[in-house]
Structure 1
Amino acid sequence: MKAIAVIGYHHTGKTTTVVNLVRELCARGYSVATIKDIHSEKFRADTPGKNSALHIDAGSKLTVARGIYDTAIIFPKTLPLNEILPHIVADFLVIEGMKDAPVP
């Protein structure tokens, strides 16, 4: 898997760059995975008090929330890149943010 990191200041076009890059790589027949690093204390992958959050609160090391439209795998902590990578199978990984990641 090849990794590309898109890093920059807030409102400088990182997401636009990532979206365009993903579209182009997919159009060329590659499989692509992305990581979006989020620095907001307001963001949570799950909603406190909801059933899947209760699983984590009870001590689950990993919770899968499977809905009608998508599936989310939730770990109850922030993972470093080296712990995320084993879960990703793709030709390319495009990372938005995560300036501490050791990728070009």
Structure 2
Amino acid sequence: MINESDLAELRSAVLTGVTIGVGSQILIFGNGVTLLIQCPFKSNSKHGERWGHGEKVATGILFLDFLNHKIENAFLDAGGVLVLDFGGVGSLVIVPDLNGLESYVLTTKFGVSPILVI
């Protein structure tokens, strides 16, 4: 489970890389934190609100608006929804599937936190 220490690792982290693959996409941050995504996500940016999915390669482009930008705030909403606020750039909202399978995995210096929601 993601705790406050994990969220603190995300706050002020800079998104420095994105690995777009078949079946998942991985956000790589400058401080070593990674976020593997295999579920729906919402991008709120200068291009408006757009939905993507971690298992759909074509939607990986939605992460590029946030590349080389710092997370201003990160918090966990009800149902395991992870919100990454990039300030004036916009936000990413990671929305777990409600199927009991692993939706996303946050890896910080405190450990690996796979998120699944039933």
- Give TM-score scaled by structure 1 length: 0.26
Larger RCO (CA within 8 A; separation ≥ 6): 1
Say which structure is richer in helix.
1
- Give TM-score scaled by structure 2 length: 0.24
Say which structure is richer in strand.
2
